[in-house]
Amino acid sequence: MNMLPGPAQAAAIGLSLALPLVLLCYARIAATGGSGRRFRLGCVSILALYAIACIALPGQRHLDDVIGGLFLLATAMMFFYILFSLLAWGFTLTLLTALDKAGRPLTLEQWAVAYMQGGDLGTFTHNRLKLLVGAGMLTVADGKLAPTTKGMAVARLVKFVRLSTGIG
Amino acid sequence: MSFVVGFLAAVTFALLSPVLQLMARARGWTVAPVTLLAIAAIVTHGLGVMLGVFVVAQFQYWDAASIFGFCVMGYVFAFGAVYKSVSLEILLGLVGRTERRAPLSDIVERQVPALFQGRIGNLVDSGLVEPVGSHFAATAAGRTMAGRVGQLRHAFGIGDTSLYDFSSD
C-alpha cells in the first residue's frame, strides 16, 4: 500500500487545510460581500490555486493524481460548507445564541422576539418563504401558498433522500 | 483500481448508514444521527482500506480516500440538507395537505411556531437549555457552546440572525 499522496493530491490536501484560513482573511475584507458570496469566493480562490499548482509543480502530471486532488478539494469544500452554513443559517444554534445573549431566562414569546432581534416569527417565516418562492418551488396567490411542479418534484426528492438515508 | 475500492467503500457506507439510523430509532439509542454517520464512515473506510490492501497489488491510499471522502461528504451534505431544514419542512407541510395549499397566516401562526417549539425541545433534550418555570435559560454547557459559536461567527464575519441575506448573498 502506498500511503503517500501524489503531488497534485498533496497540493489539494494543503489547499483544503487553507480554505478556512482564506475565509478568515476574506472576512476582514468588506468588499467580499455576504456570507454565501464570501464562501463561494473562497472556493473559487482555492480552485484557482489548485489549477496553478497543477501547472507549476515539477514533474509530469498523472490524471488519477489530478482527479484525486479534485475529489479531495470538493470533499473539503462540502465539509466546510456544512459547518459554515450551520454558523450562518443554523436555526437551532441561533436560538441558543439569542437566549444566551439575552442574559436572563425568557418565555417562549420573549425568546422568539430575542431570536428575531425585535422582529417576530413572521419575519423569519417570510425570509424562508422568500427562498422557496425565489427558487420557484412555491407560489403565493390570494394570500395562499401552493407548491409548483418544481416544488412537488423537490418534495418527492426530499422524501426519497429521507427514506434512503434512514431519517424516515 | 484504488478508485474503485474507494467507491465500493462509499457504497457500503450508503448501505450501512441508513441501517444504523433505523436501528437507533427502533432501539431507542441516544446516539446523535451525526455520530452514527461518523461511525459508519470510519467502519467502511477501514473495510475499504483492508479490501484494497488484500485485492489491489499497488493500492494507492489517497486515490481511494479521495473518492470515498467525496461520496461520503456528498451523502452527509444531502442528509444535512433534508434533516432539519425549516424551508423544506414548510414545503413538505404544504405538499402533505390534501388540498396542497394553505393560507400564509397558517404557516406564520401555526407551522413555524411548532417548528420553533420543536427546536427548543431539541435544545432542552441535549442539555443546552433548561426550563425554569414558564421560562427557558441556557445551561452552563449551552452558554459555553453559544460563546464558541459567537467567537466563530465573529472570526468568519458571519451575522447572528440566521436569516438569508438576499441583497448581498
The C-alpha R_g of chain B, in whole angstroms, comes to 21
Cell reading at B79: 442528509
Residue identified by cell 479490501 is B51
Contacts of B22-27 with C-beta under 8 Å, sequence gap 24+, read B22/A166, B25/A166, B25/A168
> Over its length of 169 residues, how does chain B's per-residue pLDDT go in tens digits?
889 999 999 999 999 999 999 999 888 888 888 999 999 999 999 999 999 999 988 899 999 999 999 999 999 998 988 887 888 888 888 888 888 888 888 888 888 888 888 888 889 988 999 998 889 999 999 999 999 999 999 888 887 666 665 554 4
ipTM of the complex: 0.83
Which of A21, A70, A144, A152 to mutate: most B Cβ within 10 Å?
Answer: A144
Residue B57, exposed/middle/buried by CB under 10 A (0-12, 13-18, 19+)?
exposed
All residues of chain B having their beta carbon less than 8 Å from the beta carbon of residue A34 are 165, 167-169
- Cα separations in angstroms, A45 against A49, A75, B66, B162: 6, 16, 20, 25
Chain B residues within an 8 Å CB radius of A130: 164, 166
Q: In chain A, what percentage of residues exceed pLDDT 70?
A: 99
Strand order in the sheet with B102-103: A138-141, A144-147, B102-103
Q: Rounded CA gap, B133 and B52, in Å?
A: 58
Q: Please say whether the beta carbons of B64 and A69 come within 8 A.
A: no
| CB B4, CB B68: distance < 8 Å | no
Q: Does A124 touch chain B (CB under 8 A)?
A: yes
**Tens-digit pLDDT profile for residues A42-86:** 999 999 999 999 999 888 889 999 999 999 999 999 999 999 888
Closest residue in A to B33 (Cα) is A167
**Contact status, residue B77 vs residue B16, Cβ threshold 8 Å:** no
**How far does A116 lie from chain B, in Å, by closest CA?**
7
Among B34, B66, B26, B115, smallest CA distance to A6 is for: B66
Beta strand pairing call for B135-138 and A144-147: unpaired
- Give CA–CA dist A111/B113, Å, rounded: 12
Output the DSSP codes for A91-149.
HHHHHHHHHHHH-S-B-HHHHHHHHTTTS-HHHHHHHHHHHHHHTTSEEEETTEEEE-H
pLDDT for position B51: 92
Which residues contact residue A141 at a Cβ distance below 8 angstroms, ignoring those fewer than 6 apart?
A: none
Give the model's pLDDT for residue A20.
94
DSSP symbols for B50-92: HHHHHH-TT-BHHHHHHHHHHHHHHHHHHHHHHHS-HHHHHHH
Q: How far apart are CA B80 and CA B78, in angstroms?
A: 5
Residue of A4, A127, A163 to mutate, interface with B, max B Cβ within 10 Å? A127
> What are the cell numbers at B62?
489517497
Each residue of B105-149: pLDDT tens digit? 888 888 888 888 888 888 998 899 999 888 999 999 999 999 999
Quick one: CA dihedral A147, A151, A157, A162, positive or negative? negative
Question: Beta partners for B125?
Answer: none
* A88-121 per-position pLDDT tens digit: 888 888 889 988 888 889 888 888 888 877 777 7
Q: What is the pLDDT of residue B169?
A: 46
What's the rounded Cα separation, in Å, for the pair B94 and B98?
Answer: 9
pTM: 0.84
